[in-house]
Amino acid sequence: MKNIKGPAIFLAQFLSPDAPFNNLESISNWAKGLGFKGIQIPTWKSNYFDLQKAAESKTYADEIKGKVNEAGLEITELSTHLQGQLVAVNPAYDKLFDGFAPEIYHNNPKERTNWAIQQLKYAAKASQNLGLNAHATFSGSLLWHTVYPWPQRPNGLVEDGFTELANRWLPILNAFDEAGVDLCYEIHPGEDLHDGISYEMFLDKVNQHPRACLLYDPSHFVLQCLDYISYIDHYHERIKMFHVKDAEFNPTGKQGVYGGYQNWVDRAGRFRSLGDGQVDFKKIFSKLATYNFEGWAVLEWECAIKHPEDGAKEGAKFISDHIIRVTEKAFDDFAASGTDKEFNRTILGL
């Protein structure tokens, strides 16, 4: 068994023009002060991290790594959640998602997609230059608007959608394979890869690509009423990243999974700070340790109630308290009778 690494923190929700969150050095020092050992870096804010430069310049990548190491931290992974989303966008969402890309690509879906694909390829090389072995992203979606179909989906629509999705991602997956980095999809509502079945459909289309891996985040499964513990049993060989995020689902006589168009505070399903929700993290950490998960336990703070700085402070301790120092021996070794083949045969009556 392996010791899970951590605690680490995903910086995306903490980036801000205000100190200490306004540059990589100061936010790293802040994270270290809370007890974190690693940071997961979003790649869509070039003033913190220049993705293209990190891909094209090993010197720059080393400088970034040096700054983080100087703060007493490690870079756990990079993230291209926003860029990954733009690899596949149904036209219904074009206006909403344009803001994820530079203004030059607004109102030009084809060029926006090409930009996103290149961003992912930069991420593969940048991860390699930083010495990382996993990367976080979203799959994007061509089909999400049909997830609860009315009118009914035309025959072959899902097949065609996943074929196109795979065609867009295969060159990216190959780039990650060349870089020696696992590409980890965060399975998430709003994405075509939103549960185990949809992920398997995608795997079939990309010929079980060895780099098409998973970022495990149980909070999204609580909100879908999916068994997030047995999910690990099904997909542990593909789980290469772990977001530690809590959630709760409290349906009423008036709303359930879909939330009635309410804001996050008033939804039946909502994300919470660690320890304030319903996720059984003791089972999760035990299960991942049993399956030799070698990655990082990374806090992703998303809470509709608690202040983010309090969520981060409490989250560092929460993760530390849940990481299991795995045993190197069996508890009953004291009663062992040694190894003797002839003795074993005697016991068996042979």
Which residues in the chain show pLDDT less than 50?
none
CA distance 41 to 296: 13
Residue 181's φ and ψ, nearest 5 degrees, are: -125, 135
- Work out the number of other CB atoms within 10 angstroms of the CB of residue 316: 23
- CATH number of 5-347, picked from 3.10.450.50, 3.40.630.30, 3.40.50.300, 3.20.20.150: 3.20.20.150
Tell me what pLDDT residue 10 has. Answer: 98
pTM: 0.95
CA distance 215 to 300: 12
Q: How far is CA 190 from CA 90, 94, 146, 271, in A?
A: 11, 14, 11, 16
Tell me what pLDDT residue 244 has. Answer: 98
Tell me what pLDDT residue 315 has. Answer: 98
Tell me what pLDDT residue 334 has. Answer: 67
Question: Bridge partners of 10?
Answer: 40
Question: Looking up tokens 């394979």, which residue turns up?
Answer: 177
Helix (H) or strand (E) run with residue 152 in it = none
The domains of the chain are located at 5-347
Q: How far is CA 4 from CA 7, 95, 275, in A?
A: 9, 40, 19
- Work out the number of other CB atoms within 10 angstroms of the CB of residue 22: 14
CA distance 120 to 179: 12
Question: Bridge partners of 244?
Answer: 299
**Are β-strands 269-272 and 246-249 bridged in parallel, bridged antiparallel, or unpaired?**
antiparallel
Helix (H) or strand (E) run with residue 5 in it = strand 5-10
Question: Looking up tokens 């003791």, which residue turns up?
Answer: 282
Both tokens of 122, joined, read 């930069």
Tell me what pLDDT residue 335 has. Answer: 66
